[in-house]
Amino acid sequence: MTLRSVLIANRGEIAVRINRAAKALGLRTIQVYSAADADSLAVRLADEAVAVGPAAAKKSYLNINAIMEAAAKTGADAVHPGYGFLAENADFADAVVAAGLRFVGPSGAAIRLLGDKVAARDAARKAGVPTVPGSDGRMANAAAAAEIAAGIGFPVMIKAAAGGGGRGIRIIKDPAFEQQFLQASAEADAAFGDGGLYIEKVIERARHVEVQVLGDGENFIHCFERECSLQRRRQKVWEEAPAFRLPPAVRDRLCASAVELARSVGYVGAGTVEYLYDEARQAFYFIEVNTRIQVEHPVTEMITGIDLVQEMLRIAGGAPLSVRQQDVAVAGHAIECRINAEDPFKNFQPWPGTIETLSVPEAAHVRFDTMLYAGYTVPPFYDSLLGKLIVHGGTREECLSRLAAALAALDIRGIPTTVPLHRALAADPDVAAGNFHTRFLEAWLETCFAAPDGAKEVA
């Protein structure tokens, strides 16, 4: 590997994860941080840390000039963007390369192509990947959208062309939706600086299945799939690998289609191709490509033994893929629970504050990726994700049993967290049977989830 150092342009648990992966490869780590993160675990772990601005993300973690100045000042060889913030910002990727550094991810051109949902759908179609019935491109106005919707049938979903994270999305059940169209466009413009929308048919009771791909520009492989159907407000809550009840023939076609799409754009680094899966018809449809490492990447690592972050760093250093497709195999089952600083008994209200004590289960089959330590104060300025509890088992049944035990042992004191939610999910018979889809969790929260004796539980 030609890299000697990497600047980590992110924060939280993913910054800790990249720090550890880079150090395992012998790289010097450089951590940028905002004024709110001076005492963060990522800063403590890094070989060098550089302040890049005040707490506000726009003035720190989203400040390209400040991050590039930090890279120049410290002599970094590469920049890893993690996920969120600038991870899928094509201008940032271009700025890193223009400065003579390696961007740990795909090119700016690939990010632009695949980050635009309409362009990505077109690329998927050209690669022979099935797409959800919908518009061929951006819709000019609400009238054009109504015409397309009438043709494919209600319900439909209008989505932001430059979107992500569930923003700029509306499910439409009635032909009179001009106001919803305008609201979605305004929301998309505010969130992404692009109010463009496209439309897709709603796949009822769909499951969310995604494929992890790796590419070095010439060689492309998949690391099998993940199931991410348990979502609240289109935000993933619980992920597992491999997908449950996915027929082998469907898995083969699904993974092959993701590799073909990666090959068609000459993909470099780690990426995720996301699909909706219609279990009744055993049909899958392309949704989008995430041109970065995913929050849920650990479940793939647990079942394949491949360190995806290290692989990204090797590729950025000019090395070819270290594994061939025939070397990638699934061993057992893994489940990840996202642990957030939110009170699940108070409509998931974010709850920053000080971690009084932290006790983490220790076992060969348990992994806890986190930014926490006892005495750390969770700041109120950023996403509420504290960490991810990941558990592996020989079978899904064993994995669920081990997960329940690990969740019972995980003790975070000082602030409410979503641990009680996951304890309830791990004990739910429908979850155990795999009887869920992308709309399951919100209905389950209304009917099956409540604090014991009506009292708020604090994990």
Cβ(166)–Cβ(184) below 8 Å: no
Residue 203 falls in which region: left (phi positive, over 0), alpha (psi -120 to 50) or beta: beta
Residue 8, classified by CB atoms within 10 Å of its CB into exposed (0-12), middle (13-18) or buried (19+), is buried
Sequential DSSP letters for 17-74: HHHHHHHHTT-EEEEEEEGGGTT-HHHHHSSEEEEEE-SSGGGTTT-HHHHHHHHHHH
Alpha-carbon span 380 to 79, nearest angstrom: 26
Q: Is 359 exposed, middle or buried (0-12, 13-18, 19+ CB in 10 A)?
A: exposed
How many other CB atoms are found less than 10 A from the CB of residue 148? 19
Query: 290 and 271 in contact (C-beta within 8 Å)?
Result: yes
CA distance 267 to 261: 9
Among candidate residues 170, 226, 251, 292, the one labeled active-site is: 292
Q: What tokens appear for 126 in the block?
A: 């050209």
Task: Verify whether residue 44 is a known catalytic residue.
Answer: no
Going by C-beta distance under 8 Å and a sequence separation of 6 or more, which residues neighbour residue 114?
A: 106, 120, 123, 265, 271, 288, 289, 291
CA atoms within 13 A on the CB side of 331: 10
Q: What is the CA radius of gyration of the chain?
A: 21
In whole angstroms, what is the distance from residue 87 CA to residue 57 CA?
Answer: 13
Among all residues, which ones are annotated catalytic? 292
